Amino acid sequence: MVWAAMVVMVMSTSSFQKVAIFGSTGSVGLNTIKVLQAQKEQYDVRVLTANSNVGLLAAQAKELDAAYAVIADETKYEELKQALAGTDVTPMAGQEALLEAASMEADWTMAAIVGMAGLAPLMKSIEQGKIVAIANKEPLVAAGPLVMEAARQSGAMLLPVDSEHNAVFQVFEPENKKAVERIILTASGGPFRDATFEEMEKATPEQALAHPNWEMGAKISVDSATMMNKALEVIEAQRLFDLRPSQIEVLVHPQSLVHAMVEYSDGSILAQMGAADMCTPITNALGWPERLKTPGERLDLAKMSHLEFRPVDLERFPSVTLAYECLEEGLHACIALNAANEVAVEAFLSHKIAFLDIYHTVSEILRSAVPERLESLDDIISYDKLIRARAKSAMVENNFQQTGT
């Protein structure tokens, strides 16, 4: 990231910024709209996108007076067109439309689609060379080298929105990178932080979705329950901050107030703290390099009795170990980890497999993944598809089933 050059560029732009939100109907998307609406600055929301929620997308587009509303599910085009009849919002639909929207001019883009579905539009947004706020971690995990290289080539500024990575970004001194000894990502531990193995074996989607500290979309909530979210975040951090895997550590911090820390050679540990509310990292990314006012929650330290940090129990949460193994193995393993996980989480949420079978599926797929030539976006997308097919067959062959539902 070319901090200094980007600061000059951003400072010199007017306060009337063109904004695009990919995944505007999701949890991060909704918070992004909340943050935008709280600012006094003028934002010209050009593009909003969603997968299939026409009603919400149309309502958002009308409310924000967007220029384009894009629904990824092509079959919903007529419905969207009708919902936007009589407005100035142009309806668009399908994968190509998503890419077209990502190619439109935007000063600030929020990448908040969930999963690998966000990769192709993200790459298009980056090509424009402006500011891209990234919540969508899966493309960084599975195509990190390509994403980072595309940003280097276009000069785009990638601003991490994932709370831990935004926290690192805030306390990471690029000019002192050599003095960075390690970064510590905190983890709430999710709903099963203190659960027994037997309880996790029987865990239902409803229990897995009940996150103690954060309100998030379904996929990331399940990832938090398995702690696969932290595995993805270790890889995400490696991509964003270009560190050795051994410099990235994870600590369980049940209060979710300290989001990440950077330890320097002089022994100083700089931490970022804030309420467990995505409005803070989103506001940080929207305002950068300045600081705006968050419409979200504030942290009242006087009400905190203690802060607790402990190592991850890798016996109960073996997913975290997979991140380090995959970084060691290479890109094919990172793609496989992410793809198998996406498929397994979907199966778990549809009551097809048990909670612990998510890990069983991912680790089985990883055992059979061998290095591949993965240089282009197409290479990565095809390999991702292959792994998804393998993961689906593995779940059927193993006759995984969710019981008691």
Binding site for Mg ion (CB under 5 A): 162-164
Binding site partner of 72, from Mg ion, ligand NAD, none, Cβ cut-off 5-8 A by kind:
ligand NAD
Binding site partner of 216, from ligand NAD, Mg ion, none, Cβ cut-off 5-8 A by kind:
ligand NAD
Is the distance from CB of 117 to CB of 95 less than 8 angstroms?
no
Strand partners, 180: 264
Strand partners, 48: 21, 69
Q: What mask of x and - would describe binding to ligand NAD in positions 205 to 244, judged by CB under 6 A?
A: ---------x-xxxxx------------------------
DSSP per residue, 239-285: HHH---GGGEEEEE-TT--EEEEEEETTS-EEEEE--S-THHHHHHH
Sequence-distant (6+) residues with CB within 8 A of 303 are none
The residue among 260, 215, 218, 220 whose CA lies nearest residue 237 is: 260
> Which stretches of 286-349 are assigned E, i.e. beta strand?
310-311
Residue 190 found at the interface with ligand NAD (CB under 6 A): no
Binding site partner of 262, from ligand NAD, Mg ion, none, Cβ cut-off 5-8 A by kind:
none
User: In the complex with ligand NAD, which residue's Cβ is closer, 7 or 171?
Assistant: 171
Under rule CB under 6 A, how many of the chain's residues touch ligand NAD? 27
Radius of gyration of the chain (CA): 21
Residue 51 found at the interface with ligand NAD (CB under 6 A): yes
User: In the complex with ligand NAD, which residue's Cβ is closer, 160 or 400?
Assistant: 160
Using alpha carbons, list the distances in angstroms from residue 371 to 221, 327, 335, 367: 30, 12, 11, 11
Pairing relationship of beta strands 248-252 and 310-311 according to DSSP bridges: antiparallel
Site residues (CB under 6 A) for ligand NAD, limited to 59-88 = 72
End-to-end CA distance of the chain: 48
User: In the complex with ligand NAD, which residue's Cβ is closer, 22 or 400?
Assistant: 22
**What phi and psi values does residue 19 have, to the nearest 5 degrees?**
-120, 145
DSSP per residue, 361-385: HHHHHHHH-------SHHHHHHHHH
CB of 78 to Mg ion, least distance (A): 37
Q: Which residue stretch of 3-11, 18-26, 189-197, 366-374 sits at the interface with ligand NAD (rule: CB under 6 A)?
A: 18-26
Residue 92 found at the interface with ligand NAD (CB under 6 A): no
Binding site partner of 191, from Mg ion, ligand NAD, none, Cβ cut-off 5-8 A by kind:
none
Site residues (CB under 6 A) for ligand NAD, limited to 248-267 = none
Sequence-distant (6+) residues with CB within 8 A of 9 are none
Residue 285 found at the interface with ligand NAD (CB under 6 A): no
CB of 354 to ligand NAD, least distance (A): 22
CB of 326 to ligand NAD, least distance (A): 17
Q: In this chain, which of 26, 91, 144, 205 binds ligand NAD, going by CB under 6 A?
A: 26
| Alpha carbons 335 and 325: distance in angstroms, whole number | 13
**Neighbouring C-alpha atoms within 13 Å toward the C-beta of 270:** 15
| Alpha carbons 327 and 323: distance in angstroms, whole number | 6
CB of 383 to ligand NAD, least distance (A): 18
The residue nearest ligand NAD at its CB is 26
User: In the complex with Mg ion, which residue's Cβ is closer, 164 or 357?
Assistant: 164
Site residues (CB under 6 A) for ligand NAD, limited to 341-400 = none
Site residues (CB under 6 A) for ligand NAD, limited to 108-127 = 112-114, 117
Residue 19 found at the interface with ligand NAD (CB under 6 A): no
| Residues binding ligand NAD (CB under 6 A) | 23-29, 50-51, 53, 72, 112-114, 117, 135-138, 162, 214, 216-220, 278
